[in-house]
Chain A
Amino acid sequence: ETGVTQSPTHLIKTRGQQVTLRCSSQSGHNTVSWYQQALGQGPQFIFQYYREEENGRGNFPPRFSGLQFPNYSSELNVNALELDDSALYLCASSAALGRSTEAFFGQGTRLTVV
């Protein structure tokens, strides 16, 4: 067990709705990254947060947004959900910016858009 917890574990939403996913980072970790993993694929980088600011973004549209709080926990928000947004969303935390090799992943949130 990594100490990174995500909630909820499963979620079903309707196309066009909005969703918020949550991540509690491991104690002492100040950097959080979010990944989208479609079925049968490897995780794809969405963005990274360091000290409450976005620090790097992958090839995802602006309707994917995030927040990091003073306690370093984080949220991923997705607006105007599309069917293709159905995926496992993974959060990873690490102790410092750039130390991604020491990142620990949560168990993920399985989002289904119908």
Chain B
Amino acid sequence: GQQLNQSPQSMFIQEGEDVSMNCTSSSIFNTWLWYKQDPGEGPVLLIALYKAGELTSNGRLTAQFGITRKDSFLNISASIPSDVGIYFCAGILAGGTSYGKLTFGQGTILTVHP
């Protein structure tokens, strides 16, 4: 099925550093989303993007919807230990048959060393 290519697969950083991760696809998406998943929990929505070129912030998090509608990135500034977790990009494909189905990337595992 349709896949989003998310990179990097994992990151090991020091507290206070900035983090950047991205997602790309060969298909066009109408909506890009970024989620965080903690162990034993379901994904929690961090940021939603609805228009090409849109840049949206949520506290220390900033995400952008790529101009081509085929990519998105997420930045985390001044990382803290509670940022540890798995980050997923997700999108809703353009076209009338997507039924609101979310397509997820493979995830980026973030480890923050104090």
Q: List A residues at the B interface (Cβ < 8 Å).
A: 2, 4, 31, 33, 35, 40-45, 48, 55-56, 58-59, 90, 92, 94, 97-101, 103-108
A103–B103 Cα gap in the complex (Å)? 13
The size of the chain B interface, using a CB distance under 8 A, is 27
Instruction: Name which residue of chain A comes closest to B38, CB basis.
Output: A107
**Cross-chain pairs A/B with CB under 8 angstroms, 5 sampled:** A42-B4, A42-B105, A43-B88, A101-B33, A103-B45
In the assembled complex, B31 has its CB within 8 A of some CB on chain A: yes
Task: Name A44's contact: one of B41, B45, B104 (CB within 8 Å).
Answer: B104
Whole-angstrom CA separation of A9 from B102 in the bound complex: 23
Minimal beta-carbon separation of A5 from chain B (angstroms) = 11
- Chain A residues with CB below 8 A from B59, complex form: none
Quick one: which of B50, B92, B107 contacts A42, CB cutoff 8 A? B107
Tell me whether B44 and A105 are in contact (CB under 8 A).
yes
Contacting residue for B100 out of A42, A94, A104, A107, CB 8 A? A94
Q: Measuring CB to CB, which residues of chain B are less than 8 angstroms from any residue of chain A?
A: 1, 4, 6, 31, 33, 40-45, 48, 50, 88, 90, 92, 97-107
In the bound assembly, the distance between CA atoms of A4 and B41 in angstroms comes to 11
| Other A-B pairs beyond A45-B103, A101-B50, A108-B42, 17, CB < 8 Å | A41-B106, A42-B104, A42-B106, A44-B104, A48-B100, A48-B101, A55-B99, A58-B101, A92-B42, A92-B102, A94-B100, A97-B99, A101-B45, A101-B48, A101-B92, A104-B45, A105-B43
Contact A97 B100 (CB under 8 A): yes
